[in-house]
Amino acid sequence: MLPKRQRLSTAEFNEYFTRGQRLQGRYCTLVYTPHTRFHGAVVVGKKVYKRAVDRNRLRRRLYPVLRAFAERTNQTGVFQCLTKPAAAATPIGDIRDELRGLLARATEAR
């Protein structure tokens, strides 16, 4: 999980989701919006995993990637990671690697 000051409210999530630039991957989509501070979110829908336990497990495994990215690079912006159904049958290492690549592409485009 991210600290409370780095999380988004529902209204903020919806606003940045509609305005953001989308970067597509095989297992997840990253929605990036420039901002003065770092904010992040990971979304795992019911199409990925039916059981809440499984959705929460994947979320808990992806949040550290966002946290490490924020600490390592000191980048600012809103980063929303949306997982795709293909992530359910994929090893977590592959999903993490793809998310790291999408984060790098998002910051290069700035």
pLDDT tens, residue by residue, 30-71: 999 999 999 999 999 999 999 999 999 999 999 999 999 999
Q: Is the pTM of this model over 0.85?
A: yes
At residue 61, the 3 state secondary structure works out as: helix
At residue 107, the 3 state secondary structure works out as: helix
Question: What tokens does 27 get?
Answer: 């297992």
Domain 4-108 falls in which CATH fold?
Ribosomal Protein S5; domain 2 (3.30.230)
pLDDT grade for 103, boundaries at 50, 70 and 90? very high
pLDDT grade for 110, boundaries at 50, 70 and 90? low
Rounded to 5 degrees, φ, ψ at 9 are -75, 170
For the chain, what are the domain ranges? Answer: 4-108
